[in-house]
Chain A
Amino acid sequence: MIASALIVFREALEAALVIGIVLGATRGLKGRKTAVAWGVGSGIMGALVVAALMGRIAQAASGTGQALFEAAVLFTAVAMLGWHSVWMSRHGKRLAQDLKNLGSDVTKGLRPATALYAAAALAVLREGSEIVLFLYGLAASGAGAGALCLGGLIGLSAGAAAGGLLYLGLVRIPVRLFFRVTGWMIVLLAAGMASQAAAFLNQADLLPSIKDSLWDTSRLLSAQSVLGTLLKTLVGYTPSPSGLQMLFYAGTIALIASLTKLAEE
């Protein structure tokens, strides 16, 4: 039960951190909680569909279908996060101003941050489908339903709690700095996702790894640990990145930063 709680926790943590950042970054926007709830809801539905179809997805593209699918989902999320960053560069000042003057959830006349909600939905879809498959496997192997539900619930709530803590921490940042901090968190989130997506394309033999391992810090901080998982989501930590991953990581940051600069005028 503890093992299953831990595995569910790790997957839930990744999705919850993304949701925490999205909730933080949309601070001051009207209707964001409903929108995020819709994102999470549709993400869960999507996760069930993906889990059910995983066998077929994996068989596609001569057995590399899942890697391609994961890369596609990740790149879509990266695009959404990037789009939001560019949008914020135009509207962030006004948002911060409104927030300072009026408190939260009163900003009107701004386009809702649909792209961010979509990114949250995609995170839930990806991590959720793994949770579903894992729990299904346990159930199929005859683990007791009680222990299973309990383990799953503990893992989920712990993950959600971590996301909630992150959010609470974020909203304590003074408004002056707030959008700069969340802005950078979104860029790093996107860069980490792009690096993961690149690894999936390499796994499917579509892109060369360039250099297999630039360095190896798995002894210092394993990717399997809770801290490793946390940093993997927040800043794209991976213990031994390939040259390809590094390229996508740095490229994403550079691309979003320059698009943002351009949009600022």
Chain B
Amino acid sequence: MIFSLIKRSVAVLLLLAAPLSAGSDLPVFRLTLKGHQFAPQKVTVPLGRKFKLVVSNEDAEPAEFESFVLHREQVVVGKSEAVVYLGPLKAGRYEFIDDFHSQTRGVIEAAAAEKK
């Protein structure tokens, strides 16, 4: 019963989500977790622009991409990917961690864009 409830609520949300998320023209950045290290450790993103961060977990164990300052929490189970939308950000450095392995850290840096 719980299962069908979950499925149903996810399905309803999917319907709600479909027309709203345009998303496809956003810049995409990739972040990989391997051996409990983020690669790259610094993701440089454009200022004042929304972007899509694809977090790919190549380890076997689940991880949780979390940034307290950007209020983002995303579980990424082993050998899978998840998507986190972020921005537009002001100039600055924004830390994130793998909340399941708190030694695993990285940073997003929003800086004036180089030529596009």
Contact = CB atoms under 8 A, between A and B. Distances in A.
B108 to A, nearest CB: 12
Interface residues of B, number: 45
B43 interface: no
A203 B74 contact: yes
Given A58-B75, A137-B61, A63 B81 contact: yes
A141 B61 contact: yes
A57 B74 contact: no
Interface of B: 2-3, 6, 9-10, 13-14, 16-17, 20-21, 23, 50, 52, 54, 60-64, 68-78, 80-90, 99-100, 102
A236 to B, nearest CB: 11
A41 B93 CA distance: 42
Contacts of A70: 73
Given A57-B6, A137-B100, A212-B90, A62 B78 contact: no
**Contact residues of B: prevailing secondary structure:** mixed
A175 interface: no
Interface stretch (A26-34, A42-50, A97-105, A151-159): A42-50
A137 B37 CA distance: 15
Contacts of B17: 61, 64, 68, 204, 206
18 contacts: A7-B102, A62-B23, A63-B54, A63-B82, A68-B10, A69-B10, A133-B75, A134-B62, A134-B64, A136-B62, A137-B63, A141-B61, A203-B73, A204-B21, A205-B52, A206-B16, A212-B87, A218-B69
A55 B10 CA distance: 13
A65 interface: yes
Interface of A: 3, 7, 45-46, 49-50, 53-55, 57-72, 130, 133-134, 136-138, 140-141, 196, 199-200, 202-206, 209, 212-213, 216, 218, 222-224, 238-242, 245
